[in-house]
Amino acid sequence: MAFLWSLAALIPLDNYGHYIHWGVIDISVANFIVVVLMVLAFLAALFLPFPGRNRRKESR
């Protein structure tokens, strides 16, 4: 449990949020991280091999 608390301390939640300002784009760092993770998940889904894919192709 103490380990979890020390992990939580890495991300201070009692301060003002951090924002990225880029022209008309104004996004919180938290939301930006989620968008980056979604893009990474999308790319990983496209390029990572799916288990059993070759076996299915052979039996096709």
- The binding track of 2-41 with respect to other proteins, each residue x by CB under 8 A or -, is --------------------------------x--xx--x
Burial-class residue 32 by CB neighbours within 10 Å (0-12, 13-18, 19+). Answer: middle
Rounded CA separation 27/10 (Å): 21
Stretch that binds other proteins, among 7-15, 20-28, 47-55 (CB under 8 A): 47-55
Binding site for other proteins (CB under 8 A): 34, 37-38, 41-42, 44-46, 48, 50, 52-53, 56-57, 60
